[in-house]
Amino acid sequence: IKKVAVLTSGGDSPGMNAAIRSVVRTCSFHNIQCVGIYRGYQGMIEGDFKEMGPRSVHNIVNKGGTVLKSARSKEFMTVEGRKKAYDELIKAEIDAFVVIGGDGSFTGAEIFNKEFKFPVMGIPGTIDNDIFGTSHTLGYDTALNTVVECIDKIRDTASSHNRLFFVEVMGRDAGHIALNAGIGAGAEEILIPEEDLGLERLVESLRKSKAAGKSSSIVVIAEGDKIGKNVFELKDYVEANLPEYEVRVSVLGHMQRGGAPSCYDRVLASRLGVKAVESLLEGKSNFMVGMINDKVALTPLLQAIKGKTEIDRELLRVSEIMSV
């Protein structure tokens, strides 16, 4: 392997830049060339490449977003699209690529590897932390800190007005952000996709909170929760059933995906980038690099895509006890 490409794909997450930097500098350390691919797989199809060296990634370890831009490419989901991408890689004499992204991006890489026997390596980048084969995905720790900071601020105004706040956080299919940031910020209730706590239980718990003399309450809701109502319908329902509460809704949205990466995410990105390139140089392919028991470890891409991450049920109990 003499030339490795790197791309970011799917939803961005803080720490992607630190991972790009790590891939580029590890290539340089081992005297091989590195090429950045812009706009994910779409840029691969269009040959939107740029040679990168150690100096072209200076001052990005601390930056949110991705300097290579990201995209979700429909064309790459077709055989024709992938063939075009393959031709572009061959034309540019690229021998392998590292894709930083989530399970959709890994699925693309996995199929591509099968079709063209092209060496690929994945680095998990998503704030949702829903990838099998790693305790942490890039951006998750930063997003947790962002959410906790926001909820702390919401708590100030909530308690000044004796209000109940529903705070919606990201997590289409996974409750890791809601559960951990919820506990970190002292939420009274946490609603997640993995568990249907039921409307009646929520209402009962809020009634108890009021009776226990709490001046304000925060309910953290993952966007993919199973309660069957969106956050605004939930507000109406609770106001109708608990008139003693004045409810406000705060949807945190994409701010959770931005911002400077935490130290944890920067170190994680640096470690995963080194391992991704060095694994390719050792002849390995079709793996994701992740953290297992605090050590960098490889998981077959297919397993990373198919495997389910579990929420830690102990956290549900901790949350319940903390909100007594």
The single residue listed with the structure tokens 């392998």 is 96
| Structure token pair of residue 21 | 């930097």
Q: Is 250 annotated as a binding residue?
A: no
Residue closer to ligand F6P, measured from CB, 26 or 126: 126
Q: Is 13 annotated as a binding residue?
A: no
Distance CA 36, CA 197 (A): 45
Residue closer to ligand F6P, measured from CB, 170 or 206: 170
With binding defined as CB under 6 A, does residue 9 bind ligand F6P?
no
With binding defined as CB under 6 A, does residue 191 bind ligand F6P?
no
- DSSP letter for 295, please: E
Q: Is 216 annotated as a binding residue?
A: yes
Within 135-154, which residues bind ligand F6P (CB under 6 A)? none
Distance CA 184, CA 148 (A): 6
> Among the candidate windows 122-130, 213-221, 230-238, 289-297, which touches ligand F6P by CB under 6 A?
122-130
CB of 161 to ligand F6P, least distance (A): 29
With binding defined as CB under 6 A, does residue 126 bind ligand F6P?
yes
Query: Which SS3 state, helix, strand or coil, does residue 64 take?
Result: coil
With binding defined as CB under 6 A, does residue 14 bind ligand F6P?
no
Among 88, 128, 188, 189, binds ligand F6P (CB under 6 A): 128
CB of 105 to ligand F6P, least distance (A): 10
Distance CA 102, CA 181 (A): 21
In 126-196, at which residue ranges do the beta strands (DSSP E only) sit? 164-169, 189-191
With binding defined as CB under 6 A, does residue 107 bind ligand F6P?
no
> Among the candidate windows 25-33, 86-94, 169-177, 289-297, which touches ligand F6P by CB under 6 A?
169-177
Nearest to 64 by CA among 136, 11, 104: 11
With binding defined as CB under 6 A, does residue 172 bind ligand F6P?
yes
Q: Are 131 and 103 in contact (CB under 8 A)?
A: yes
With binding defined as CB under 6 A, does residue 127 bind ligand F6P?
yes
Nearest to 9 by CA among 97, 65, 69, 76: 69
